[in-house]
Amino acid sequence: MAAPRSFVMLETQTLAEHKPQLGEFGFAGDDHVVPYEVAPLDVRGRTVQLGPMLDAILSRHNYP
pLDDT of residue 64: 65
pLDDT of residue 17: 66
% of the chain beyond a pLDDT of 70: 52
Closest CA to 21 of 4, 39, 3, 41: 39
Asked if 51 and 30 touch (Cβ cutoff 8 Å), the reply is: yes
Domain extents for the chain? 30-64
Is the pLDDT at 25 greater than 60? The verdict is no
Of 43, 44, 42, 47, which Cα lies nearest the Cα of 31? 47
Query: Could you tell me if 59 and 53 are in contact, meaning their C-beta atoms sit under 8 angstroms apart?
Result: no
| Model confidence pLDDT, tens digit, residues 31-62 | 777 888 999 999 999 888 788 888 888 888 88
